[in-house]
Chain A
Amino acid sequence: MNTAALTAQPVASPHAHGGNSVTRTMFRVQMALVPATLYGFWLFGWPSFFLWLLTILSCLGFEALSLKMMGVTRIKRTLFDGSALLTGWLLAMTLPPWAPWWVAVVGGFIAIVIGKQVFGGVGQNVFNPAMVARVALLVSFPVPLTMWVSPLPLTSLAAPDFIDGLRIFLTSLPQPDAMASASLLGHTKTELSRGIDLFHSLAGEHAPVLSWIGARSGSLGESASLLILAGGLYLVGVGIISWHTPAAVLAGLAIPAAIGHSVDPAHYLSVSAHLLSGAAMLGAFFIATDYVTSPNTTSGQIVFGLGIGFLTWVIRTYGGYPEGMAFAVLLMNALTPVIDRFIKPRILGRDRKGKPLDIPEGKEA
C-alpha cells in the first residue's frame, strides 16, 4: 500500500535513490508485453482487442472502488502506479482471445478484489492476482475458458470487422465449428485419452514448429512465444528481472520433458512443444518473476522456478487440465514463505549462519 516509501527521496547522506519506482518498473514490463500483444491483436482480430481493453478497465475500476472503500485519500496516485493495469494486461494475455465480456469483468473483480486488495493492496498479496483470476475463471466457467479460435489475421477476409468483433464480444455468439479449435496441449491431451499417440495427433495444424510464428490457436500470450521470449529478454537486459527465475522455470519444465520424451516419444511431448506451448514463456518471464509473490534470494528463486516448471510438467502430463502453469505458480506462491524461511538473505556484516564476520584486528577505523 505504501508506495510513497518506495518513491520518497532519501534524506540522510549514505543513501542514494536509484530513481526507480513502482510506476517505472510496471511501465517497462508493459513495454515488454507490447509486441506480443499487438501481434495477438493482428492474429485474433477485434474481439481480442475488446477483451484486452475491458479486462484492464475492469481491473482499474475495481482497484479504484477498493481504494475508495478502504478510505485511501490519494486514489489516483495508487490507481495509476501501473500495477492494476499490468495485472489486467497479464490476465488478458492468458484468456481465450474471443472470450465474452463478462469473463473480463469477473476476472478483473477476482484479480483485484480477491487476489490483491483483500490482502492489503500493492506488495501485500500472497498470490499472483492475474493467476488467481485465471484459475478461478477456469474452474468456474470451463466452457467459455476453453473455446479457442483459430487465428484469423486481421488482413484476411474471414476476420470479423470492428462491428462484428464487438458483437462477438458482447453477445458471445456461438462460434462456427470451423473457427473453434483446441490449443496444442488440449488437443494432444484429448487425443491421448482417446488412445491416439502423439505421432498422429501432432500432424498438420498442430505441428510444434508453427508455434515459433504463433499461427495457431491459443491465448494472446501463448501464440507468439518468440515475441514473449524477446520481451522477457528485454526485461532481463534492463535489469527489471533477474535471469534466475525464468531460467529455473524453463529448466524445471524442460528436464522432465526431455527425460519423458526420450523414454517414450509417443506419449510424452517434446521439450520444444512444452516450452513453446501454453503459458510457459509468459509464466517464466512475466508471472513467476513477480517481485511480491516470489522468494527474496536468488537461490530461493531457483528453487521456486524449478518447482513451477516441474509442477507444470506434472499437471500437463498427468493432470486433468491440459495446462498447469497457473496452478503451478499458485502452488509455489503458497510455498514462497517456506522457501524464504529456509533460504534467507545474508545479513549485512554477518555470514550465512548469522555469525558476525571476522574483522581482522587493527583494520577497524
Chain B
Amino acid sequence: MSESYGKLMKDGLWENNVVFAQLLAMCPTMAVTTSGTNGLGMGLATTAVLVVSNILVSMIRHTVSSQVRIPVFVVLIATLVTVVDMAMNAWLHELYKVLGLFIALIVVNCAILGRAEAYAVKNGVAASAVDGLAMGLGFTGALTFIGLIREFLGSGTLFAQASNLLGPSFAFLEMKLPGYGGALLMILPPGGFAILGFLLAGKRVMERRLEERAAQKAELAAA
C-alpha cells in the first residue's frame, strides 16, 4: 500500500472523520453524547471493535468470496461486539449500565462495516489495523468533544463520573460549575443535533480558512 500511515491517521482523525466528515454512526452520536465520559467510553469500545474487525477482515479477505462477504463480516463483527459487551459488563459495570443497549448496537454501527468494506477488504493487515485505529480514535474524539460540550451546557459538569471509566485515579478530571442549573435541552436530542450542526459548520469554516491561507502562500511563493 502506497499510503503512508501518517496519511491514514490524518484521514481518520480529521479529513474523513466518521462523525464530522462521513456523518456516519449518527445513532450513537446522538444517543450517548450526553456527557464526555459516555462519549469517551462508547468511542473506546467502538475503537476496540473497529481495530480487531479490520484486522480479521483483512486477514480473511482472500479466502471469503465476494458473494458471501457481508454475512461473514457481520458475524465477525457481532462476535467481537459480544466480547466487548461482556467485558464491559464485567469490568466497567457502572459505565455499562449507562451505555446499556448502545454497546450491543455497535454491531449495526455503519462505520464498522463501512471500514471493512471500504478499506480492510482491499488492504493488508497492518494498514487495516492503523486505519481502524485512526477511524476509531477520530470517532472517540468526536464523541468525547460533542459529549463535553453538551455536558457542560446541559448540566454544568465536565467528565462527570469519569472515575467509573478510567479508575479512581482519574477523579481529578471531574469538574462542576457551581451555581449553574444547566440547559436541559442540550441533554435532549435537539441539543445534540444543534451542537453537531454548529461543529460541522465550524469545521467547514476552519477548512476554508486553511485552504485560503494555503492558496495565498502558494501565490506568494509563485510571485
Contact = CB atoms under 8 A, between A and B. Distances in A.
A142 interface: yes
A118 B181 CA distance: 27
A139 interface: yes
B116 to A, nearest CB: 35
B184 A141 contact: yes
Nearest to A138: B185
Contacts of A136: 185, 190
B27 to A, nearest CB: 22
Contacts of B183: 106, 140-141
Contact of B194 (A114, A139, A141, A143): A114
A118 B185 contact: no
Nearest to B154: A140
Contacts of B185: 136, 139-140
B40 to A, nearest CB: 25
B184 A142 contact: yes
Contacts of B181: 141, 143
B142 interface: no
Nearest to A118: B197
B181 to A, nearest CB: 7
A142 B185 CA distance: 10
Interface in A297-336: none
A65 B185 CA distance: 23
A108 to B, nearest CB: 14
A120 to B, nearest CB: 13
Contacts of A139: 184-185, 188
Contacts of A141: 181, 183-184
Contact of B184 (A114, A118, A140): A140
Interface in B153-196: 181, 183-186, 188, 190, 194
B194 A140 contact: no
B151 to A, nearest CB: 14
Interface in A131-160: 136, 139-143
Contacts of B184: 139-142
Nearest to B184: A140
A78 to B, nearest CB: 20
A106 to B, nearest CB: 7
Interface in A104-136: 106, 114, 118, 136
Contacts of B194: 114
A118 B185 CA distance: 18
Nearest to B187: A140
B183 to A, nearest CB: 4
Which of A106, A118, A136, A140 has most chain B Cβ within 10 Å? A140
A131 B83 CA distance: 47
A140 B186 contact: yes
Nearest to B201: A118
A125 B206 CA distance: 25
B133 to A, nearest CB: 35
A114 B197 CA distance: 10
B152 to A, nearest CB: 14
Nearest to A106: B183
Contacts of A142: 184
Contacts of A118: 197
Interface string A47-74: 0000000000000000000000000000
A118 B201 CA distance: 10
A139 B185 CA distance: 6
Contacts of A114: 194
A142 B181 CA distance: 10
Interface of A: 106, 114, 118, 136, 139-143
12 contacts: A114-B194, A118-B197, A136-B185, A136-B190, A139-B185, A139-B188, A140-B186, A141-B181, A141-B183, A141-B184, A142-B184, A143-B181
Given A140-B183, A140-B186, 15 more contacts: A106-B183, A114-B194, A118-B197, A136-B185, A136-B190, A139-B184, A139-B185, A139-B188, A140-B184, A140-B185, A141-B181, A141-B183, A141-B184, A142-B184, A143-B181
A-B pairs, top 4 by smallest CB distance, nearest first, are: A140-B183, A140-B185, A139-B185, A140-B184
